Amino acid sequence: MPKQYVEDLVPNTQVNSSFVVRSRSFASFRNKPGQYLNLSLADRTGEIVGRVWDNAEALGEVLTPGAIVRVVGRVEEYQGKPQLIVVQAEACRAAEVDPSDYLAASQRDPMEMLDELDAVMAEVENPCLSALLHAFFDDSDFRTRFTRSAGAKTLHHSFVSGLLEHTLSVVRILKVVNESHPQLNRDLLITGALLHDVGKVEELATETTIEYTDTGRLLGHTVLTDRMVRERLQQVPDFPPPLADLLMHMLLSHHGQKEYGAPIVPMTAEACALHYADNLDAHVQYFSQVVAAGAKSGNRWSDYQRLFDRYIYLGDAGEQGEGPTGQE
């Protein structure tokens, strides 16, 4: 039976397909005993609200967050949006699912991105920095995990291969900055850009959903990056300690300000450039993502974005929506 994708689910159709459970919560009926289930079901094409009206306790044992579950049910319309009424559910066996079906992924082809990465790596002339990069990206285990990793849990590039996509964008920006500012050290710029977020591979678990690891929460990706780079540095013979300090300084300071978790602030032009290029790409991606999501909303303004303390303008995509209640 072929997979039915979320983006194709329309009201008044039967469903018999598998999805990943993003979240699950029980709620009680207001005027009768018992409870039902609210679900978020997803695959790589989107997310749909699910409900279990009957037999919620039993089905709830299957429908656990992160699990890929085959559900049987029916799509209904609710407030103009589809929702899936689930009547049966059973866990899928690992063998029968393709994990890449269940989490959104970069719109760029990973192989093409890896080619771009390899090409950029080849531009680095300093033999020590080059050797360090190869120690990372020629290690097939690391290469695989890096290629899969999301860029963040929710903020930006929160999809499969998001870290790789973001990393390449930062490299591109730094290369054009280097054209305007040729006195900057090009090899450090490229190396710093390629390695600045490698710790996210350990901070985040990009499985069927994107979650923090305990270690990730307790230590943070900045320190994990430091550890990972230190370890590979020791594999490069005669890496000059002052060069190592300059590189590590870029990585440790790339959040730019202590308030944003940088244990040290940028004190070289290369570190300064990395910080702003990282912010530029991440925030533009975030704004674009909000606009893309909102395009379907029928509103002229996005929901309130707590993280940025503002609404984002959607424009003519829709006229019938209700604008946000503003601040003055």
Which residues, 272 to 291, sit near its own copies by CB under 8 A? 272-273, 276-277, 279-281, 283-285, 287-288, 291
**Which residues inside 73-92 make contact with its own copies, applying CB under 8 A?**
76, 78-80
Instruction: Determine how many CB atoms are found less than 10 A away from the CB of residue 234.
Output: 10
What is the signed CA dihedral for 253, 289, 194, 114, rounded to 10 degrees? 170
Q: How far is the C-alpha of 39 from the C-alpha of 259, rounded, in Å?
A: 36
Site membership for its own copies, residue 319 (CB under 8 A): no
Report in angstroms how near the CB of residue 98 gets to its own copies at its nearest: 25
In the beta sheet, which residues pair with residue 204? Answer: 212
Site membership for its own copies, residue 168 (CB under 8 A): yes
| Cα 74 off chain centre by | 30
Q: How far is the C-alpha of 248 from the C-alpha of 262, rounded, in Å?
A: 12
Q: Of 3-11, 88-96, 117-125, 247-255, which part binds its own copies (CB under 8 A)?
A: 247-255
Report in angstroms how near the CB of residue 34 gets to its own copies at its nearest: 9
Report in angstroms how near the CB of residue 2 gets to its own copies at its nearest: 29
Residue selected from 102, 248, 254, 299 as contacting its own copies according to rule CB under 8 A = 248
**Which residues inside 295-314 make contact with its own copies, applying CB under 8 A?**
300-301, 308-313
Q: Of 3-11, 72-80, 115-123, 140-148, which part binds its own copies (CB under 8 A)?
A: 72-80
Residue closer to its own copies by CB (options 134, 283) is 283
Count of residues of this chain found to bind its own copies when the rule CB under 8 A is applied: 95
Residue closer to its own copies by CB (options 145, 172) is 172
**Which residues inside 89-128 make contact with its own copies, applying CB under 8 A?**
none
Residue closer to its own copies by CB (options 111, 307) is 307
Site membership for its own copies, residue 246 (CB under 8 A): yes
Query: x/- string (CB under 8 A) for its own copies, residues 34-63?
Result: -xx---------------------------
Site membership for its own copies, residue 29 (CB under 8 A): yes
Sign, Cα dihedral of 195, 102, 99, 209: positive
Site membership for its own copies, residue 243 (CB under 8 A): no
Report in angstroms how near the CB of residue 28 gets to its own copies at its nearest: 6
Q: How far is the C-alpha of 93 from the C-alpha of 74, rounded, in Å?
A: 23
Residue closer to its own copies by CB (options 15, 152) is 152
Burial letters 131-154, b for 16+ CB under 10 A, else e: bbbbbbbeeeebbebbbbbbbbbe
Residue selected from 12, 14, 32, 96 as contacting its own copies according to rule CB under 8 A = 32
Residue 268 CB partners (closer than 8 Å, separation 6+): 246, 249, 250
Q: How far is the C-alpha of 105 from the C-alpha of 100, rounded, in Å?
A: 8
Site membership for its own copies, residue 2 (CB under 8 A): no
What are residue 66's phi and psi, to 5 degrees? 95, -20
Residue selected from 1, 2, 10, 31 as contacting its own copies according to rule CB under 8 A = 31
| Residue positions counted in the chain | 328
Residue closer to its own copies by CB (options 3, 318) is 318
**Which residues inside 172-211 make contact with its own copies, applying CB under 8 A?**
172-173, 175-177, 179-181, 183-184, 211
DSSP 8-class letter at 282: H
Site membership for its own copies, residue 212 (CB under 8 A): yes
Three-state DSSP class for 310? strand
Q: How far is the C-alpha of 84 from the C-alpha of 71, rounded, in Å?
A: 10
Q: How far is the C-alpha of 69 from the C-alpha of 91, rounded, in Å?
A: 4
Residue 218, H or E segment? helix 214-219
Q: 């970069």: which residue's tokens?
A: 106
